[in-house]
Structure 1
């Protein structure tokens, strides 16, 4: 199982960060390859399901995901329902006190972490229609290389929306995979 963890500090109330991250359909604005997110069931809480329409190169694919558990305002867990063994979580950890490098106007904040776990070998090769002479292994290798880049982009853009301004965002990135 591969794992990618991206985290950063956000200078808003933990409850605000949680509510923002729970609103999954807005994620399509954050990535280069996610074209559309549709909620197909639920209100954002446990059991809510989403269709995520991705496009990259000459391929399109719709992933199906589900929110599996929420612990307001600190955690949102999800999983992919078909074609690959993948899951993840958003974690929100309130600060006891603001870090020394916090913006001067910050009054509260939290550490926000996106954690993604996936087994690339579990990917179903019949889930995408490939052009002639293109192997599923080639596509999988290319996509694995994009996962970390996309996760970092999502976190950076979420911070800008949460705080209402662009700023230099320092990310902590940890991977447990040679592929990422």
Structure 2
């Protein structure tokens, strides 16, 4: 399995971040290649199913995903349910030594700050070798291996873009977002 983790700090409380990330349908606003996310069944919790329509180059593909678990306000697990072995999670971790959200920003008389913050991480695991060549209607003279070779490196930039844009909307402003990226793959 190839693994990618993109994490950063968000100036918002964990509950707000968690609720924001539960809105899978909003993800289409953050990705260059994700055109639409439709809820097929469920209420956002475990068992909820989505259709994610991607478009890249001359190809359009609709993936099916399912929420496999939630631990409010810390974790949302998901998996792709057809054509490839892939899944992952969103993790929301309060920052601070006592387990509570650490705050930052303008300090009051006690030196405490009033702006909560937490770490958010998008974790993705996938097995490119499990991808089904029958999943795409390819143009003539285009091989499935060529498509994989071109598309897999895009996963990292897309994950980074999604996290950066989500932070922008969560915080309500644009700033340089410092990303910590971990990759366990020679393909991405």
Q: TM-score, with normalisation over the residues of structure 1?
A: 0.96
- How many pairs are equivalent? 178
1:86-131 C-alpha deviation (Å, 9 max, x unpaired): 00000000011648xx554861110000000000000000000100
Query: Contact between 1:41 and 1:50, CA under 8 Å: does it hold in 2?
Result: yes
1:108 is paired with a residue whose SS is strand
| d(CA) in 2 for partners of 1:16, 1:75 | 13
Unaligned 5+ runs, structure 2:
107-112
Structure whose residues are more often strand by fraction: 2
- What is aligned with 1:118? 126
- What is aligned with 2:109? none
Are residues 10 and 130 of structure 1, via their aligned partners in 2, closer, same or farther at CA, if it must alter by over 3 Å? same
Q: TM-score, with normalisation over the residues of structure 2?
A: 0.92
2:83 is paired with a residue whose SS is coil
Unaligned 5+ runs, structure 1:
none
The partner residue of 1:151 within 146, 159, 166 is 159
Q: How does 1:49-68 map to 2 (within 5 A)?
A: 49-68=49-68
